[in-house]
Amino acid sequence: MSRKITIEPVTRVEGHGKVTIHIDHEGNVTQTRLHIVEFRGFERFIQGRPYWEAPVLVERLCGICPVSHHLAAAKALDVIVGAGTGEGLTPTGEKMRRLMHYGQFFQSHALHFFHLASPDLLFGIDADPAIRNVIGVALKHKDLAVQGVLMRKFGQEIIKATAGKKIHGTGAIPGGINKNLSIEERDSFLKGPDPLNADKMVEWASGALDFFKTFHKGHKELIDNFSKFPSSHLSLVRKDGAMDLYHGVLRAIDSQGRKILNDVDYQEYTQYINEEVRPWSYMKFPYLTHLGETDGWYRVGPLARLNTCDFIPTPLAQKEFELFRAYTNGKPNNMCMHYHWARLIETLHAAEMIRQLLHDPDLHGNNLVTIGKKQKEGVGLIEAPRGTLFHHYRINDNDQIEMANLIVSTTNNNEPMNRAVNCVATSMMTGKKEITEGMMNAVEVAIRAYDPCLSCATHALGNMPLEISLYDQNNSLIDRKSK
Amino acid sequence: MSKPIVATASLAGCFGCHMSILDIDERILPLIDLVEFNKSPIDDIKEFTKTCDIGIIEGGCCNSENVHVLKEFRKHCKILISLGECAIMGGLPALRNGIPIGECLKEAYLEGPTVKNNVHKILPNDSELPMLLDRVYPCHEIVKIDYFLPGCPPRADLIWDALVALITGKEMKLPYEVIKFD
């Protein structure tokens, strides 16, 4: 008797997706797929809009990381209005955007770790689904939940001060920014009422890392071996190889650490990146053109960034980075669950960057916008919390957008997430008579490590269900289980 | 009296409304005392396990799956709320309503600058994928909706006040600042 298992919706991720797993009559897993089931059509319906609307239109792809789309679009439009490719803005323009961006990293990573992922660690992968959620965390680990909530709040307040509102703000405009930071705003973040100040956020981010490292010591098998496989890694890095989440050159390494994309200018990204279309998902499959569809796929996001960069330019995060690197003897880290470790190191880096930027008087400058000679086309890349994000626009003589191409962070992780699903399903379900809820959640745990934003990826978002259907050899349905 | 039960869903939205719910920040803790949550993307309850008092819907309907989920919500919830512009009027995704859906698919999968190698002209069409609707529909065109909370997203204070008003049965104040769009 062959079976098909469907997980729908996948939950505690951002977006609509579903997983199908086919098992033959001998109990072998024959096919696994993560389907992205939503389609928006952004690339087409944005055509004809005036180009300056793009930053506020495209951020509505995603309510979790709107700042990433807002800034990636603004960076592409900087090129179009002649403000250069990332280095041409006024100091106030660039630093306000950076502050917004690090505020968003801080809130998004806190949300993922505390609200979405921590229940699997705190209660266990096969715990009762009724308590395996943020409410369960709040009831059992109140201090941790309060910290998570307040860390996210601090990041959201930074976004509000730089972008005008917490979700779908309007701060970045082509060539710069539309407001500076007032002294009062700065003081509220530096000396705000305890605990909502920058020093406390650095302290709490360090605390979250300690929590993870302690958990790691007690659960080595899960954290080190769950769903691991070798892969290439891609991210932006600063020209000197430092981690830079806002701007840089494009670097990729293979699973051994050899450079396969050597710090190239991302304005030329179409020379290096292509996307494959597969009929069973609305999410495309990007790959490095010179390596081809089969071998050219790569991972993005926190794990990839810690593998590609040479150092982190803030002291506390750099110390943590050295420990992280030492764990794999300096070789690329290919352990799926180490995404969580990498994400928390970045959370600490974001807190340090926020604190450092808040002491910079440039934030209060009045020179906000740069305008130069108009171009017809521009590319904007940024490291979003979930990985490298590509925005590419072309305009016509009437200032209308005539072409838009977006490759969002989660889309870059499409192939790795599918491999993660396959890896977990094969190891846990092969030969098993009964498929348990815990096994199905394990598949989701592997997906959750990537913190996918399927909203973005389909140029959409919602929840992933999990449903398992049993089919016989003639493909007729004989049983169905869902969670 | 047992606690009121709340369920939430995101259809053709961006999750921004759900994020705005989380923007009630510290008030999340008293909220947990006030209500019990059932089916929601923030927990692992994937199907309704009981009748709910309040259903909160983010996003309009762009495919057959959205319609199915929305009808399930109407069936299982005594009160249904459209949260945010997409649920109320289709919102930004409804920008595609003036364009044939085939053109949107063509642009994304056949014409873009990074899909040049799609020589077999593959479009996503698997039976596992829900059917796209001809246009994006607001929720009240599919089922009866009881309350509408505007904004993109509605601010956290508005969501909090509305929930407290519903749970305690007290009428809420609606000053202009709360109901303006952005």
- Quote the CA–CA distance of A453 and A459 in Å, as a whole number: 10
Share of chain B residues as helix, strand and coil, in percent rounded to the nearest 5: 40, 20, 40
B 22-61 near A (Cβ less than 8 A): 22-23, 25-26, 28-29, 32, 37, 40-47, 59
Token pair, residue B161, equals 């006040």
Question: What is the pLDDT, as a whole number, of residue A301?
Answer: 97
Question: What is the pLDDT, as a whole number, of residue A126?
Answer: 85
pLDDT band at A160 (very low <50, low <70, confident <90, very high): very high
* Of A189 and B45, more confident: A189
DSSP characters over A385-409: TTEEEEEEEEE-TTSBEEEEEEE-H
Name residue, tokens 């449903």: A467
Angle between the N-to-C axes of helices A183-190 and A338-358, in degrees from 0 to 180, rounded to the nearest 10: 130
Quickly count: other Cβ atoms within 10 Å of residue A229's Cβ. Answer: 14
For residue A148, CA distances in Å to A143, A205, B44 come to: 9, 10, 19
A93-102 confidence digits (pLDDT tens): 999 999 999 9
Angle between the N-to-C axes of helices A66-80 and A91-110, in degrees from 0 to 180, rounded to the nearest 10: 160
Q: Average pLDDT over chain A, rounded to whole?
A: 90
Question: What is the pLDDT, as a whole number, of residue B93?
Answer: 95
B 136-155 near A (Cβ less than 8 A): 152-153
Interface contact flag, B10 A462, Cβ < 8 Å: yes
Q: Could you give the count of Cα atoms lying within 13 Å of B2 in the half-sphere of its Cβ? A: 7
pLDDT band at A461 (very low <50, low <70, confident <90, very high): very low
B116 lies within 8 A of chain A by CB: yes
Instruction: Report which of A410, A201, A284 is spatially closest to residue B115, judged by C-alpha positions.
Output: A284
AA identity, residue B52: C
Does the structure show a pLDDT above 80 at A472?
no
Partners of A383 in beta bridges: A388
For residue A400, CA distances in Å to A1, A42, A319, A392, A405 come to: 57, 15, 48, 14, 15
Q: Which of B11, B12, B128 is closest, CB to CB, to A35?
A: B128
AA identity, residue A61: L
